[in-house]
Amino acid sequence: MLGGLLVVGLAIARPLLARLASRNIARRKVRVLIVVAGLLVGTAIISASLVVGDTLSYVFVEDVYIRYDAIDELVTNEFNGNLYSFPEARFEVFVSELASRGTRADGIAPVLLKVMPVRNEAGNKGNQQISVMGLNASYEFAFGPLRTRDGRVVDTGDLADPFVYLNERAVRELNASVDDPLTLFYGTTGETLVHVVVKDIVLDEGKAGYERRPIIFMGLRQAQAAFNEAGQVNLIKVSNLGGVADGVAYSDDVARALELVIAQNHWELRVEKVKADGIAEARAFGSDATELFLVMGAFAIVAGVLLIVNIFVMLAEERKSEMGVSRAVGFLRRDLLAAFLVEGTAYVGLAAALGAMAGLALGYAIIYFFDRLVPHGEVQITFFFEPGSVLLAFAAGATLTWLTMFVASWRASRLNIVRAIRDLPEPPPEKGSRRMLLASVGLLALGASLIAYGVWADTGYGRIPGPPLLGYGSALLAATWSRARLGFTAASVFALAWILQPAHLLNDATDNISVAFVLTGLVFVGSAILLAVFNVSEVLRWSLTRARGRVGRPVLRTAVSYPAEKRFRTAMTVAMFALILFMVTLISMVQSLQQSSLDSFLAEQSGGYDVIGYTTTYGEIPTFRQILQGNFSESQFLGGWQGVASASVLPAKVQASGSNESFDYTLWGVDNFLLRSNQYGFYSYLPTIVGDDGVPYTLGTREEVWLSLSRNRSLAIVDRSAAGANQFIPDENRLRVSPGDRIRVYDGSGNEVNLTIVGVLEQALQFTAGVFVDQSVVSSTFPPEGRFTAYFFQVAAGVDVRSLRADLERVFFAYGLQTIDIREEVGQAFEASQQVLTLMQAYLGIGLVVGIAGLAVVTLRAVVERRQQIGALRAIGFTQRMVLSMFLVEICLVALLGILIGIVTGILFTYKVYLVYFADIVTFSIPWANLMLIVAVATAAALAATAAPAIQASRLPPAKALRFAE
């Protein structure tokens, strides 16, 4: 930006430069439009990325305010999602201590919060996940009122047993009205029934919108009596001084005061800064979205930089004679540089401004489709941007473009006056050229330095580009002795092999994966481009000289010669297409991997089961099998009653032997049915075990490994996420164990069990991640109130899964049973992922504007500088059709070369990632139909954008073309 301001000042101080720039702009209006269109893409991508981040941050921050309203902190005895009760007397201690310390809190209130199945007896509708909240109206002044639909203010102090208030979400879930009787099912086995009546309905706002839950409100004493929790609460909510948004500024101070009270009294309670943490997560999500879109668009931004270089190199070539004359009559090199900068700054300013505005439109489109394609619950997606983000995008785009333009203009200003006036081409560098020798030494030193840095700092930032740069330094050294093609071919092959080699170059713990991905992609695609540019034309020429047919040979040979002659220009244009198509292909490949692996993924994740049921508030359902057999037919399940299994599920902490670090895990106590009928396989396992009876057992099959849990109850199985490599989950900060390792599993109450790992599953399970033991281990070690129960159903062929789920939830409603159709759940997640990837493809598609603009500029320039050549060709017998065919073949050659390089490198890079991370999880496939469609669309777009100058060139009369002087 400072450079742009200096150039503006220079133009004011030297109006001659401004007149020269304005004249050049006025002479080529169509060229100016193409240039600006190409230049604005980079700024538009930066702007769109920032705007998307702004919108998502704003949306989810607002959602935090809606979910917590006046609540800033919560004090709980929560452990892995379960709220355990504690004496209400502790609340009084908090009140007095916060008051004596002058803490910046304006409200504190006790709550008894339960989640349970509730049935509306009048509306004949129920829901297993209704929150029941007991409030003490005496302490609720800081948390706002409950407001009815007709605007009246009510509070729980007005309620007498059995009356309650419902918020609007609960009304919808229960199909309830005022005076409807409700039955609440509560207790470890569902034996407690609480009958209440709806007194009124309150709006889903303020505290009634807590976490967007369906809520039944009671008085605190009423709730304690109903649920046998006399003198107990399980939540204390705190409101800081100030409003909903500004009170969060005091969260650290208030949380510190609360934690001090807890520490002084040695209570097992925890403080959650729910609002502050929620806002931080929302903003982090927005930042991650910005980073994602910037990474996806980074290749388009780089393509835009190449376009800038190409444009100004060609502008210099176009005005070569003019600049030579200017130098001859007294212009200095710095004057030529200044003239270029004045003209370029006009392009940059206009393109950056339009790009920032175009980014707003692009960001709005992304958010529009995000709202419709990505599930986001009740969160309202509203387009929003910070003006500062648009200004930042303008500044970043303008600075990047201006710096690139400065380098290109500086290079253009260093011309030889005589060769420029006579419009002679620059001679090739002499053998042993000092300039090339210095450049090669510089590249060699840079490559060696990056290698040393990569080894010393253990980072991919040095290991990825270091060896390829060392190779290109050697290639440049070979080029000083006229061995450019051999040197760059060898260096390119080496660089491609280096990126594709199986060694892991990244440090997963410290390297930013986004930066490393962009770096790797640029090295990989750039190497493929150099390999093609130095060899494709020669290969085509060799093929044409040996072709027997004569039809079309003159056109083809002429079409091939020009890109080979203008190697730098060709490389720039090819790179623009290749970089964009590389990313588009990557996304298309990911989509294909998902689609082709859906069935196998389902089979692996489900373990042969179709439906999973779980209870969220109770232990094991008493007489589960008797109830099941009394209400269902054995023929509904695959394998009869053997096709139904259960597991006791416990959120717990897991610590590996010899480690001080603990990890949140799920402990699964599986019954004999699940042990014998599941289809989960193993990545690794112990060859032999000794049973509880002292008998040794050999483990040779999947079934025998599972049965080992019942033979030795100190054994456990862990899912693949604990095995390290080849997983979706990053390697850092995870439990890492192997067969034979010891672990300690414990809960929040101090109950624990020591186990030995007997096997590691093949799958990193989505629905059942955790540690697996025999069901008796869980039931004998951990109390029932801390356990959940999960049920697994193998559905027989021909049975309607949706109908079966509805019947299961109806029969076991009192126990809070909810069911999941595994195929439906995974299918929905896959579909949402596919839609997001399609959106990313469309987003990246705008980068093709850069490649098309670049090709259009190149074609326009080619027509101008080859007019005399065209005249000569016409004079020796080329027809208009042959000239048109020559240009179209040339355009197709350059465009297809870039497109094919992008697609091939995209496929190869995806395959490398597949081998490293996903080979044992998904099936590799190439979406040929989709890729062919991409090739066709990109090629058609390139031809459509460049057909006009090609047609114009073919229609030039020979005599006029031969007399042409630029």
- How, if at all, do strands 742-746 and 644-656 pair? antiparallel
Assess whether 877 and 811 both reside in one domain: no
Cis peptide before 563 (omega within 30 of 0): no
Q: How far apart are CA 170 and CA 218, in angstroms?
A: 14
**Amino acid letter for position 122:** A
Final residue of a structural domain among 796, 815, 834: 815
Contacts of 908 (CB under 8 A, 6+ apart): 500, 524
The set of residues, in sequence order, having a beta carbon less than 8 Å from that of 301 and lying 6+ positions away, is: 42, 45, 46, 400
226 and 79: one domain? yes
Distance CA 137, CA 146 (A): 10
Q: Where are the beta strands (DSSP E) in 712-778?
A: 715-718, 742-746, 752-761, 771-774
Tell me whether strands 788-793 and 235-240 are parallel, antiparallel or unpaired: unpaired
What residue type is 105 in one-letter code?
A
The number of beta carbons lying within 10 Å of the beta carbon of residue 162 is: 15
Query: Residue 216 has what pLDDT?
Result: 97
| C-beta atoms surrounding 858 within 10 Å | 26
CA gap 652, 79 in Å, rounded: 8
- Note whether 111 and 50 are same-domain residues: no
Burial (CB < 10 A; 0-12, 13-18, 19+), residue 425, is exposed
Residue 792 φ/ψ, nearest 5 degrees: -120, 135
- Point out which residues pair with 238 in neighbouring strands: 73, 108
446 within some domain = no
Pairwise CA distance, residues 522 & 814, whole Å: 59
Contacts (Cβ under 8 Å, ≥6 apart) of 894: 563, 570, 573, 574, 577, 855, 858
Strands, DSSP E only, in 736-810?
742-746, 752-761, 771-774, 788-793
Which of 815, 849, 873 is where one domain is finished? 815
Query: What whole-number distance in Å separates Cα of residue 855 and Cα of residue 894?
Result: 8
Residues in the chain: 966
Q: What is the reported pLDDT for 396?
A: 87
In angstroms, the CA 216 to CA 113 distance is 10
Whether 118 and 181 map to the same domain: the answer is yes
Among 710, 702, 703, 712, which residue's Cα sits nearest to residue 682?
Answer: 702
Helix ranges (H only) for 319-373 are: 320-328, 333-373
In a domain, 524, yes or no: no
SS3 773: strand
Please report whether residue 443 resides in a domain: no
3-state class percentages of the chain: helix first, strand second, coil last, to nearest 5: 60, 15, 25
188 and 317 inside one domain:
no
Q: For 226-256, give the DSSP string.
A: HTT-TTEESEEEEEESS-TTGGGGGHHHHHH
Domain co-membership, 260 together with 334: no
Are 454 and 463 within 8 A, CB to CB? Answer: yes
* Domain interval for residue 649: 617-815
In a domain, 365, yes or no: yes
Q: Are residues 697 and 791 in the same domain?
A: yes
Q: Give yes or no for a contact between 762 and 800, defined as CB atoms under 8 angstroms apart.
A: no
Cα dist from 383 to 73, 364, 368, 745, whole Å: 29, 7, 8, 46
Which region holds residue 956: left if phi is over 0, alpha if psi is between -120 and 50, else beta? Answer: beta
Q: What is the DSSP letter of 917?
A: I
Cα(777)–Cα(743) distance, integer angstroms = 14
Structural domain total, the chain: 4
The Cα 940–Cα 946 span in angstroms is 10
Is residue 757 classed as helix, strand or coil in its secondary structure?
A: strand
Let me know: does 65 contact 244? Beta carbons within 8 Å: yes
What gap in Å lies between CA 306 and CA 404, rounded to an integer? Answer: 9
| Final residue belonging to a domain, choices 376, 407, 424 | 424
The answer to whether 765 and 605 are in contact (CB under 8 A) is: yes
- Beta strand pairing status for 611-615 and 817-821? antiparallel
Which residue ranges in the chain fall short of pLDDT 50?
551, 725-731
Helix (H, G, I), strand (E, B) or coil at 964: coil
Residue 89 shares a structural domain with residue 194: yes
The radius of gyration computed from the CA coordinates of the chain, to the nearest angstrom, equals: 35
H/E run at residue 653:
strand 644-656
Q: 90 with 229, same domain?
A: yes
Q: State residue 539's pLDDT score.
A: 72
Q: Are residues 825 and 806 in the same domain?
A: no
On whether both 229 and 336 belong to a single domain, the answer is: no
Rounded to whole angstroms, how far apart are CA atoms 11 and 55? 39
SS3 at position 132: strand
**Does 465 reside within a domain?**
no
- List the one residue out of 573, 588, 584, 587 whose CA is nearest residue 898: 573
C-alpha 450/C-alpha 469 separation (Å) is: 9
Q: Does 8 lie in the same domain as 142? A: no
